[in-house]
Structure 1
Amino acid sequence: MDVEALLSNCNFSMLEGKVDSRILKSVKCMGFVKPTRIQAEVLPHLMLGKDVIGAAKTGSGKTLAFLIPVVDKLLKLGFTKKLGTGCIILSPTRELALQTYTVLKKLLTEIDLSHCLIVGGEKKVKDILALQRGSNIVVSTPGRLLDHLQNTESFRCYNLKCLVVDEADKLLEAGFEKHITGIISLLPSKRQTLLFSATIDNKVKSLVKLALHANPVLVSVNEDRQSTVTGLQQGYCICPVEKRIPWLYKMLKKTKKLKVMVFFSSCKSVDFHYDFFKIHCRAAVLSIHGKQSQSRRKEAYQKFVEAGNGALFCTDVAARGLDIPSVDWIVQYDPPTDPKEYIHRVGRTARGLNQKGSAVILLRPEEEEFIKYLRKEKVYLDKYSFGDPPNEVQDMLEDLVTKNGVVKTLARKAYLSFLRCYKTHPMKKIFNIQTMDLKLAAKAFGFLEQPDVDFLKSQKS
């Protein structure tokens, strides 16, 4: 296959005769005609059986880039249930594993390859039954996979042909280094390994040495001028801390016919804002954060994927890897931990080929310097003005917090977690709690009087 020809013509039909026709039919049914750059560049190497490191920013189409050659390889080798597992795909989170598995199922619509999803939070009995029957492709998170490799005798992976390590940098950031080392030690060394990562740092390089054979092919499509995709329109709004709720209310009203993701710094903040906007403002809102049950997170994710409009309130658990179609706006209501996390958050929109999206970050007047840090990462933001937000929603919130004990409890927990995130923020020079008026910050959570803050006794209010 000629990479440059594939890039210039940008059509999956060029793979006819090289890839199983059923795969191409499924790709077409999924609505994909032209490959993204990462797909076009890695496919020739993967089809030749080479180990590949794919470096591409989020939203570039990495999932199909590895699924197409993996499925084609197992078909050519005549895999059946009796041969056990031929491919393992490692994902850093349950949501990303579910997303990959969903794409895999669509790709296998007319193909008889067995497959299963193995993640924490689900009953192990289901996993064991699937492995006993023989799952040709296993999509899993590291902890649960290592558990089965060590303890489930019916997990037959001695015929393993492919290992895919997806979002490698996120796997390592999440502390899965020992798990991955343990997994690799238990897998056959004679295999093809595919590693995909948004960034290639020293930790990822160490993993490459451990997991891949000598001289793997490096394919990087991260070399364009900007760190975010070109179809993304980005801006920031300066908003006094006490006007945050009216600002968000107005933002949600302006985008009510669109699909919006709103990022918060803590689970408790998500819970409070979800309760207020969903129940009391009757907004079309869903929520996802790391302390919810697996079933609730899964249900919210699926609903938002299928939704034509509405808002998803979330923490950074949704900032990496999730491929939610047609997200129009990313709202960073609370600040990210650093410019890198900013980039991951906005990567939830303007995904794929020729896609467009918008993003806005809300900053206090004292935090505008953060824009300079983003410029160093080649991220350029316009300054937005949304006009004066409505005061009536602030009055409604304050009345609720005064009279409703449940809302007051949620508000207090959210307020304290908001302050804790500022107190421990890695970029203290910018996101500095010492420059924050705590009484005015309390108004953003509906309090007329500032709640007691034990961990900031020395902080002036």
Structure 2
Amino acid sequence: MDSEEIISQCNFSMLEGKIHSQLLMAVLKLGFNKPTRIQAESLPYLLLGNDLIGAAKTGSGKTLAFLIPAIDRLIKLGFNRKRGPGCIIISPTRELALQTNEVLKNLLKDIPISHCLIVGGEKKTKDIKTLKKGANIIVSTPGRLWDHLQNNENLNCDNLKCLVLDEADKLLEAGFERHISGIINLLPKTRQTMLFSATIDNKVENLARLALRSDPVLISIQDKQSTVTGLQQGYCICPLEYRIPWLYKMLKKTKKLKVMVFFSSCKSVDFHYEFFKAHCGASVLKIHGKQTQSERKKAFKNFVEAKQIALFCTDVAARGLDIPCVDWIVQYDPPTDPKEYIHRVGRTARGLNTKGNAVIVLRPEEEDFVNFLRKEKIYLDKYSYCDPQLEVQEKLEDEILKNGVMKKLARQAFLSYLRCYKCHPLKMIFNIKTLNLKMTAKAFGFREKPDVDFL
């Protein structure tokens, strides 16, 4: 019997006697019956207290893989509020930290282990009060945690037993090396460290050497293809001047489904959100990095709970977020690289035996990106381009002419699109010299191209 067959026969009930009975009951009550492959392979080592590097693509179940051993250890060591933090979980984004905290809250419903969420965008005084009461598990973003470790006398980590670095590659991509290094140097050395990442590169290896003991277990889940098997993915070639009609038709086609639409900038999200919500009657939400924490939190919660809606977003929503029943991923603007493509489409077809759809919109000059993805074992079907509904384009252009607010949003979105395109890492495919600026302006509703002073 090979390892795949062994894992297929595993279930969480087999952990009886190996983890605390209350924790096992909580796992089963939440509907987790069979472990994913990363969970099945990493849990035996983590429950023994080993340091571990877990490499698995997005949507593979890494959150439960680190929460189960961390909670189990604190229960068995008799942790209470007075003992302070026993586990710290560091996440790259507020949304991912919020989501991890929700799973944690559900697991700890009937277990006397305290926990808290500490992220930027919230008042520090609230954090200080929470930490003063005592929290055994802290879920945090790097900047806010680093601030508290340096300046908050109520945060004493002398009893820390576990450190979790979640989405380590994203932590490093987001420029948190200095914060992470500082945090690690302030924490006790005699702890278990778990590092989980979708990809392992030189930077992640360097972080592992800094954070983990010298003999960590490496669990790497490599699949024949880079995206999950239940994902049906394709691309559509669409000329720039027909992008708005294409998106309108796509949202119409999926109006009874749950859809995520990815844009390259916050300004582009704002512009498209306002147009489709106010002038096309579309049911849409938005999330991007320039919103307040409360705005992002509310939009994320509404999207999670909705049955049929579209979320317009930047890549702030591309990592680790476990949103139930997302039917379609639309990449309206191109990702920066294959890794970002994988993380975006990873928001659908998550978990066991689930299905999802993804489409990326490309200009005719960008079709070579499909071959580029193929080299990374990502295979896309070509979807036919139906006749666009041009009345929506005319509606947009009329709106830009008469509505000063929409015109300002459109101009900001147009310029930010050009800036993102100009800085795109894959210049051999996404080359700004191949952009027709008049047609690009038309994609944002302008009949005459606005002035551009940075090209």
TM-score over 0.5 for the pair: yes
Aligned to 1:158: 158
Aligned to 2:167: 167
Aligned to 1:199: 199
Aligned to 2:213: 213
Aligned to 2:371: 372
Aligned to 1:87: 87
Give the CA deviation at 1:5: 8.3
1:169–1:204 CA contact under 8 A, matched in 2:
yes
Aligned to 1:447: 446
Question: For residue 373 of structure 2, what is the amino acid of its counterpart?
Answer: L
Aligned to 1:355: 354
Matches within 5 A, 1:48-63: 48-63=48-63
Matches within 5 A, 1:394-409: 394-409=393-408
Aligned to 1:290: 289
Q: How many angstroms apart in 1 are the aligned matches of 2:275 and 2:22?
A: 48
Matches within 5 A, 1:248-263: 248-263=247-262
Give the CA deviation at 1:290: 0.7
Q: Which moved more, 1:242-251 or 1:305-314?
A: 305-314
Aligned to 1:31: 31
Count of aligned positions = 454
Matches within 5 A, 1:9-158: 9-158=9-158
Give the CA deviation at 1:273: 0.1
2:38–2:61 CA contact under 8 A, matched in 1:
yes
Question: For residue 142 of structure 2, what is the amino acid of its counterpart?
Answer: P
Question: For residue 38 of structure 2, what is the amino acid of its counterpart?
Answer: I
Q: How many angstroms apart in 2 are the aligned matches of 1:436 and 1:185?
A: 48
Aligned to 1:269: 268
1:6–1:14 CA contact under 8 A, matched in 2:
no
Q: How many angstroms apart in 1 are the aligned matches of 2:353 and 2:122?
A: 37
Please give the secondary structure, in 1, of the residue aligned with 2:379: coil
Give the CA deviation at 1:21: 2.0
Give the CA deviation at 1:6: 6.2
How much is the aligned-residue C-alpha RMSD, in angstroms?
1.3
Q: How many angstroms apart in 1 are the aligned matches of 2:37 and 2:429?
A: 36
Give the CA deviation at 1:303: 0.7
2:287–2:296 CA contact under 8 A, matched in 1:
yes
Q: Which moved more, 1:267-276 or 1:439-448?
A: 439-448
TM-score (norm 1): 0.97
Aligned to 1:303: 302
Judged with a 3 Å threshold, the aligned counterparts in structure 2 of structure 1 residues 4 and 252 are, in CA distance, closer, same or farther, namely closer
Q: How many angstroms apart in 2 are the aligned matches of 1:48 and 1:65?
A: 13
Question: For residue 172 of structure 1, what is the amino acid of its counterpart?
Answer: L
Q: How many angstroms apart in 1 are the aligned matches of 2:189 and 2:428?
A: 48
Aligned to 1:417: 416
Q: How many angstroms apart in 1 are the aligned matches of 2:409 and 2:219?
A: 47
Please give the secondary structure, in 2, of the residue aligned with 1:312: strand
Please give the secondary structure, in 1, of the residue aligned with 2:454: helix
Q: How many angstroms apart in 2 are the aligned matches of 1:134 and 1:214?
A: 32
Moved over 4 A (4+): 3-6
2:161–2:190 CA contact under 8 A, matched in 1:
yes
> Quick one: percent identity of the two aligned structures?
74
Q: How many angstroms apart in 2 are the aligned matches of 1:420 and 1:155?
A: 42
Q: Which moved more, 1:414-423 or 1:272-281?
A: 414-423
Structure 2's unaligned 5+ residue stretches are none
Give the CA deviation at 1:284: 0.9
2:237–2:385 CA contact under 8 A, matched in 1:
no
Give the CA deviation at 1:29: 2.4
Question: For residue 425 of structure 1, what is the amino acid of its counterpart?
Answer: H
Q: How many angstroms apart in 2 are the aligned matches of 1:207 and 1:432?
A: 34
Q: How many angstroms apart in 1 are the aligned matches of 2:279 and 2:171?
A: 38
Q: How many angstroms apart in 2 are the aligned matches of 1:338 and 1:156?
A: 40
Question: For residue 39 of structure 1, what is the amino acid of its counterpart?
Answer: Q
Q: How many angstroms apart in 2 are the aligned matches of 1:21 and 1:285?
A: 43
Question: For residue 115 of structure 1, what is the amino acid of its counterpart?
Answer: H
Give the CA deviation at 1:24: 2.1
Aligned to 1:325: 324
Give the CA deviation at 1:436: 1.6
1:131–1:156 CA contact under 8 A, matched in 2:
no
Question: For residue 89 of structure 2, what is the amino acid of its counterpart?
Answer: I
Structure 1's unaligned 5+ residue stretches are 457-461
Question: For residue 276 of structure 1, what is the amino acid of its counterpart?
Answer: F
Question: For residue 316 of structure 2, what is the amino acid of its counterpart?
Answer: V
Question: For residue 388 of structure 1, what is the amino acid of its counterpart?
Answer: D
Q: How many angstroms apart in 2 are the aligned matches of 1:426 and 1:53?
A: 28
TM-score (norm 2): 0.98
Q: How many angstroms apart in 1 are the aligned matches of 2:178 and 2:446?
A: 45
Please give the secondary structure, in 1, of the residue aligned with 2:320: coil
Q: Deviations over 1:270-320 (max 9, x none)?
A: 000000011111111000111111110111111101111111100111111
Give the CA deviation at 1:10: 2.7
Q: Which moved more, 1:376-385 or 1:337-346?
A: 337-346
1:366–1:430 CA contact under 8 A, matched in 2:
yes
Aligned to 1:314: 313
Q: Which moved more, 1:12-21 or 1:36-45?
A: 12-21
1:330–1:358 CA contact under 8 A, matched in 2:
yes
Q: Deviations over 1:197-219 (max 9, x none)?
A: 11111111111111111111001
